[in-house]
Amino acid sequence: MPPITPEELLAKYSDMAYALALRLTGNATEAEDLAEEALIKAVRGLDGFRGDCETGVWLYRIVMNCWKSQLRSPRLFFWKKMKGFVEGEAGELIDPADPAPGPAQQIEANSRREAFEKALSSLEPADRAIVVLRELDGRSYSDIADVLSIPEGTVRSRLSRARGRLRTILRGLMEEK
Amino acid sequence: MTHEEIKSALSAYFDGQLGPEQAVEIATHAASCAECRAELDELKALSEGTKENLRVRAPAGLADRVLARAGAGKERRSLLSELVIIAVATTAIAFLVGVVTKKYMPTMFQSIQGMINGAASTLGVSSGNK
């Protein structure tokens, strides 16, 4: 029997699945699609999940896999290019007009929040995922390594580097104001 | 560890992700190093700011849509498997009835076969039971 019901899974993890999807895609519409796809897969796959790992780790892995398959989808790539997306350092497509508009569109504009959004959007998608899993979900380095299929030492160094970058950018943004 | 090594491990120390020996070494160093203490303060501020400013809620209705779509998919799959089971069971029963009829009621079997062949030749196709 699965360790969690679909309703419990959705109540507990929808926000984080969406947060992770948002930071990976950098776009609210795509994040919603990605989170929905991953959550549907998770709910359908619950019968086969025996709790071999922590439920959150299992679900976030599904989010990562869905995101990776979307990145590999030639159809999506084509349409994004048509819509004016540009290729990022890691080969991902970034919406130049809207680097991280999701939360800013939903919540009243707030300069501090905007600064954090801007700083986070400057990171690579995988580094954003690491920051979000650590800061918003309090995941251990070992859990994050499992989710992203990378060594624990890499999580440690990438998180440290990402934090350094966030601090530099935030400092710059605060000084501008 | 040197000061630079400690600085690069501060993020993991802040997260409580180091072993006890390393953690004690860093705590001891930070107690007498203003630069490392300032760095730890910044890490704390960044962490609090991230939690405060970057937390988002899933869009309204997402969970309901997921439940509806996941359920619809499961129903479709279970309906399809039911249809397959019914088709296999029907074929198996027809085959068994045929075998039993041929063995125990050969006359009836021949007349049924004759009827099938007759219908097939009327339609202009071969019944495959010549």
Judgement on whether residues B49 and B79 belong to the same structural domain of the protein: no
CA B43: distance to chain centroid? 37
Closest CA to B16 of A112, A138, A172, A120: A138
A33 lies in some domain: yes
Range of the domain at A13: 6-176
Q: Is any Cβ of chain A less than 8 angstroms from the Cβ of B74?
A: yes
Chain A neighbors of B61, CB-CB under 8 A: none
The total of structural domains in chain A comes to 1
Among A42-51, A140-149, B9-18, the minimum mean pLDDT is found in A42-51
CATH number of the domain residue A124 falls in: 1.20.140.160
B10 lies in some domain: yes
Judgement on whether residues B118 and B83 belong to the same structural domain of the protein: yes
Closest CA to A63 of A44, A38, A41: A38
Range of the domain at B18: 3-54
Q: What percentage of chain A exceeds 70 in pLDDT?
A: 77
Where does the pLDDT of residue A49 fall: very low under 50, low under 70, confident under 90, or very high at 90 and above?
confident
Judgement on whether residues B117 and B79 belong to the same structural domain of the protein: yes
Overall pTM surpassing 0.90 (yes/no) = no
A1 lies in some domain: no
Chain A neighbors of B60, CB-CB under 8 A: none
Degrees, nearest 5: CA angle B48-B40-B23 = 115
Instruction: Return the residue matching tokens 């029963």.
Output: B93
Closest-CA residue of chain A to B41: A167
Interface A-B: count of C-beta contacts within 8 A: 100
Residue A24 near residue A100, CB atoms below 8 Å: no
CA A154: distance to chain centroid? 17
B100 lies in some domain: yes
Chain A neighbors of B55, CB-CB under 8 A: 15, 19, 136
Which of the 8 DSSP states describes residue B58? P
Question: d(Cα A37, Cα A21) in Å, to the nearest integer?
Answer: 10
Point out the residue among A15, A43, A117 whose CB comes nearest to the CB of B58. A15
Asked if A135 and B65 come within 8 Å (Cβ–Cβ), the reply is no
B129 lies in some domain: no
Look at residue A5 and give its three-state secondary structure.
coil
Judgement on whether residues B49 and B81 belong to the same structural domain of the protein: no
Question: d(Cα A131, Cα A162) in Å, to the nearest integer?
Answer: 8
Where does the pLDDT of residue A83 fall: very low under 50, low under 70, confident under 90, or very high at 90 and above?
very low
Which of the 8 DSSP states describes residue B93? H
Residues in chain B, pLDDT under 70: 72-80, 125-130
Question: B100 or A87, which is more confident?
Answer: B100
Tell whether the model's pLDDT for residue A109 goes beyond 70: no
Point out the residue among A113, A140, A159 whose CB comes nearest to the CB of B53. A113
B60 lies in some domain: no
At A157 the pLDDT is: 95
B20 lies in some domain: yes
Point out the residue among B47, B59, B70 whose CB comes nearest to the CB of A6. B70
Point out the residue among A17, A39, A160 whose CB comes nearest to the CB of B12. A160
Q: Please enumerate, as own/partner, the contacts of A94-102 that have beta carbons within 8 Å and a separation of 24 or more.
A: A94/A26, A95/A26, A95/A27, A98/A26, A98/A27, A99/A26, A100/A22, A100/A26, A100/A27, A101/A27, A101/A28, A102/A22, A102/A27, A102/A28, A102/A31, A102/B56
A67 lies in some domain: yes
Instruction: Name the burial class of residue B109, with classes exposed (0-12), middle (13-18) and buried (19+) by CB atoms within 10 angstroms of its CB.
Output: middle
A89 lies in some domain: yes
For the residues A42-50, what does the mean pLDDT come to? 89
